C-alpha cells in the first residue's frame, strides 16, 4: 500500500514512514541517545509497534525469529557502536540460516565519520564491521537518501537468497528535512525456472527407475511444502529432510522418512533408499558440508539440484540439471511435466519407505534411548502446528531425528552459525509473528544463561511462550566431546546454576519443575493452552561420564 502524504519531514520521520510503507509491524530495539529522532517518530506511528528486548543481541534474535516463523522481514534498530557489535552475532546467524532481517543502525555525525576524535561509540569503520554479515549494506548520506535506501533494502530482502541487509544513518541526517512522497510496497518477485532446464529435468525423470528426494530449508515454506507432497505422491518418491528442512513434509506422510538426524553417518537407515534409487532431486538445500558430512552422503546420481542461490548448485555435488529458481514455481512446473508423462519406471512401495521411517525412530544406542521419553513428552503436548524453537543443546540435537514435525515454519534451529542461547529471544519473535500458534522454547541450562535476561521482555509483553530448560548443570555437548577426545580430562564444563524457577517467579512468570517426562507433558499441556508465559525446569541426568 502506498503512503498518501507529501510533506517536509525530518529524516527520522522519513525512516518510520518508509518502514510503514513496506508493511512492517514490529521494530525490535533498545532506544538510546543516538536513536532519539527515530523513537520520537515511532511514538506517533499507528502502524508500527516497538518491542523492547533487554540486550541488542535479543533484538537481533527476535527479528530473526519473526522472519523464520512468518517469512516476512524482521526489523531491528540499534544505536551506534556497541549496539552494532552487540547485534553482530544474531546478524551472522541470520546470514548463515538465510533469514530476512533488516538492521538499521545510527552512526556518528557525518563530519566525524572515520576521524577518531574521541566521540561516544566511535569506531574506525562501523559499516566495515557489518558488511561481512549481510548481503547488502548502505550508508545514507542525506535525508533525501533515506526513502530510496529503505526501498532498496527491501528489494534486496526479497530478491535471491534470503539474507540480512543493513542501512546505516548518521545522526545529523536524522534531523535534516526531506520531502516525503508516496512509496510503493516492495513485493517478492519469485524467479521462475528456465523452461529448457525443466524439460531436461523431465527427461531425467523419464530415464529413472526410482527417485529419491532431499528437501532442505528452502522447501519448508507454506508455498513449497504442499507442492513437495504432490511431487512425492506423483513420483512415488521418499522424501528425506535436512535439519532445516523439517516441516517441508509432514513426518507422518506415507512418503516421509523424516530427517536423517543432526549428523549424517554411513549406517543411517536412509542410506538404503539412496542406494536403491538412481536419481536425486535436491530442493532448497546447498548440500553443505555439515548437511552431507563433508560430501560423504551417497546421493544417487544423476542429481537435479533446485536452489534459489546459483552459487550453491554444483558446488559440492555435480548437478546433471541445476535450476536456480524459486522452489515452489519449479516444483509446480515439474509436477506438470510428471502428469504429462515424465515418470520414472518404478515407484517406491510405501511399505518400504515406512519400514525405513520406523528404523529411523529406533534409538541408535542406550544413551539415545534415555532422551526419547522427553522428546515424546514434548510432541504429545504440542499441537501439530506448534512452533518448536531449538537451542544448541543435546535434547535438541537428538530431536532432529526423533521429534516429528508436521508443518512448515514450525521448527526453528540455529543450524548455520550454531549460536548458543538464541532460543528464548527467537521464540519471542516467532510468537509475535504467529500469535495464533503455540510456541515453545527449548533450552539447555548453559545456553539459557546467555540470554535469560529476555525473560524480562517475555514478562513485559505477557507473551504466551513456554520456556523449557533441560537442566543438568553442565555444558553437556562440550563435556561429551571432551569424554570422546580426552576421557576424564574435563575443564570448565560443570556449572553452578541459579534456581530458574525462582528467577522466572521474580519476573512474575509462572514456573514449575518437571521431575519426569509425564510431568513435562502435563505442565506443557497446561502452558500451551494458557494466555501468558510459563517456564518449566526439567532436571535431567542422561549422560554417563
pLDDT recorded at residue 411: 98
**What average pLDDT score do residues 495-504 get?**
98
Say if residue 3's pLDDT is above 60: no
- Average pLDDT of the residues in 486-513: 97
Q: Among 303, 528, 335, 307, which Cα is nearest to 438's?
A: 528
Least confident range from 118-122, 280-284, 304-308, 422-426: namely 118-122
pLDDT at 189 over 60: yes
**Distances in whole angstroms, Cα of residue 80 to Cα of each of 108, 123, 138, 329:** 7, 9, 15, 41
Q: Rg of the chain's alpha carbons, rounded to an integer?
A: 24
Spell out the domain ranges in the chain.
Answer: 7-179, 195-357, 365-539
Average pLDDT over residues 115-141: 93
Model confidence pLDDT, tens digit, residues 317-335: 999 999 999 999 999 999 9
Mean pLDDT (the chain, rounded): 96
pLDDT of residue 182: 81
pTM for the model: 0.96
Q: Where are the beta strands (DSSP E) in 68-151?
A: 74-78, 101-107, 136-139
Average pLDDT on 255-264 reads: 97
What would the pLDDT profile of 367-420 be if each residue is shown by its tens digit? 999 999 999 999 999 999 999 999 999 999 999 999 999 999 999 999 999 999
Torsion (CA) 240, 325, 89, 427 in degrees, nearest 10: -60
Class of domain 7-179: alpha beta
At residue 4, the pLDDT reads 52
Percent of the chain with pLDDT over 90: 95
Q: CATH number for the 195-357 domain, one of 3.10.350.10, 3.30.930.10, 3.40.50.1220, 3.40.50.970? A: 3.40.50.1220
Query: CATH topology of 195-357 equal to that of 365-539?
Result: yes
pLDDT at 1 over 90: no
Q: Rounded to an integer, what is the distance from CA 487 to the centroid of its chain?
A: 35
pLDDT band at 165 (very low <50, low <70, confident <90, very high): very high
From the options 3.30.160.160, 1.25.40.10, 1.50.10.10, 3.40.50.970, give the CATH code of 365-539: 3.40.50.970
pLDDT value at 2 more than 70:
no
- pLDDT of 5 reads 52
Q: What tens digit of pLDDT does each residue of 56-88 get? A: 999 999 999 999 999 999 999 999 999 999 999
| pLDDT given at position 112 | 87
* Cα distance between residue 129 and residue 103, in whole Å: 13
Residues 528 and 540: their CA atoms lie apart, in Å, by 22
Question: What is d(CA 91, CA 89) in angstroms, rounded to the nearest whole number?
Answer: 5
Q: How many CB atoms lie within 10 A of CB 237?
A: 24
Average the pLDDT over 301-325 and give the result.
Answer: 97
Amino acid at each position: 500500500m502506498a503512503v498518501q502524504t507529501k510533506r517536509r519531514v525530518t529524516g527520522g520521520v522519513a525512516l518510520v514512514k518508509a518502514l510503514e510503507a513496506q508493511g512492517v509491524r514490529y521494530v525490535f530495539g533498545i532506544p538510546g541517545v543516538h536513536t532519539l529522532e527515530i523513537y520520537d517518530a515511532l511514538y506517533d506511528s499507528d502502524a508500527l509497534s516497538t518491542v523492547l528486548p533487554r540486550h541488542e543481541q535479543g533484538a537481533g534474535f527476535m527479528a530473526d525469529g519473526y522472519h523464520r516463523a512468518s517469512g516476512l522481514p524482521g526489523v531491528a534498530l540499534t544505536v551506534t557502536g556497541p549496539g552494532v557489535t552487540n547485534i553482530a552475532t544474531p546478524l551472522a546467524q541470520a546470514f548463515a540460516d538465510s533469514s530476512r532481517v533488516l538492521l538499521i543502525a545510527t552512526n556518528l555525525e557525518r563530519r566525524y565519520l572515520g576521524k577518531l576524535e574521541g566521540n561516544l561509540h566511535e569506531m574506525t569503520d562501523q559499516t566495515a564491521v557489518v558488511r561481512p554479515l549481510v548481503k547488502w549494506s548502505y550508508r545514507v548520506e542525506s535525508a533525501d537518501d533515506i526513502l530510496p535506501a529503505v526501498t532498496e533494502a527491501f528489494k534486496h530482502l526479497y530478491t535471491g537468497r534470503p539474507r540480512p541487509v543493513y542501512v546505516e544513518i548518521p545522526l545529523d541526517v536524522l534531523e535534516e528535512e526531506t520531502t516525503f512522497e508516496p512509496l510503493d510496497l516492495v513485493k517478492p518477485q519469485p524467479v521462475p525456472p528456465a523452461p529448457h532446464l525443466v524439460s531436461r529435468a523431465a527427461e531425467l525423470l523419464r530415464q529413472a527407475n526410482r527417485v529419491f528426494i532431499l528437501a532442505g530449508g528452502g522447501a519448508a515454506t507454506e508455498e513449497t511444502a504442499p507442492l513437495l507432497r504432490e511431487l512425492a505422491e506423483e513420483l512415488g518418491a521418499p522424501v528425506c529432510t535436512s535439519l532445516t528442512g523439517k516441516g517441508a513434509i509432514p513426518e507422518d506422510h506415507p512418503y516421509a522418512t523424516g530427517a536423517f538426524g543432526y549428523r549424517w553417518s554411513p549406517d543411517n537407515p536412509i542410506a538404503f533408499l539412496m542406494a536403491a534409487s538412481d536419481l536425486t532431486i535436491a530442493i532448497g538445500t546447498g548440500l553443505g558440508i555439515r548437511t552431507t558430512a563433508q560430501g560423504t552422503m551417497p546421493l544417487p546420481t544423476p542429481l537435479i539440484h533446485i536452489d534459489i542461490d546459483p552459487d550453491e548448485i554444483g558446488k559440492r555435488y555435480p548437478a546433471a540439471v541445476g535450476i536456480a529458481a524459486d522452489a515452489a514455481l519449479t516444483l509446480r512446473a515439474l509436477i506438470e511435466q510428471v502428469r504429462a508423462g515424465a515418470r520414472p519406471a518404478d515407484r517406491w512401495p510405501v511399505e518400504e519407505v515406512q519400514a525405513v521411517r520406523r528404523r529411523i525412530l529406533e534409538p541408535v544406542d542406550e544413551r539415545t534411548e534415555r532422551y526419547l521419553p522427553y522428546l515424546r513428552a514434548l510432541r504429545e503436548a504440542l499441537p501439530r502446528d506448534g512452533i518448536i524453537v531449538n537451542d544448541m543443546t543435546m535434547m535438541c540435537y537428538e530431536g532432529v531425528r526423533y521429534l516429528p514435525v508436521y508443518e512448515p515454519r514450525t521448527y526453528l534451529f540455529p543450524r548455520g552459525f550454531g549460536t548458543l542461547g538464541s532460543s528464548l529471544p527467537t521464540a519471542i519473535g516467532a510468537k509475535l509473528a504467529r500469535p495464533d500458534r503455540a510456541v515453545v522454547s527449548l533450552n539447555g541450562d548453559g545456553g539459557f544463561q546467555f540470554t535469560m535476561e529476555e525473560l524480562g521482555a517475555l514478562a513485559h509483553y505477557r507473551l504466551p511462550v513456554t520456556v523449557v530448560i533441560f537442566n543438568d548443570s553442565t555444558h553437556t555437548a562440550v563435556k561429551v566431546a571432551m569424554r570422546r577426545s580426552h576421557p576424564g580430562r574435563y575443564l570448565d564444563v560443570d556449572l553452578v546454576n541459579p534456581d530458574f524457577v525462582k528467577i522466572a517467579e521474580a519476573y512474575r512468570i509462572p514456573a514449575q519443575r518437571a521431575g519426569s517426562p509425564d510431568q513435562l507433558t502435563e505442565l506443557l499441556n497446561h502452558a500451551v493452552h494458557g494466555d501468558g508465559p510459563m517456564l518449566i525446569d526439567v532436571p535431567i541426568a542422561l549422560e554417563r561420564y
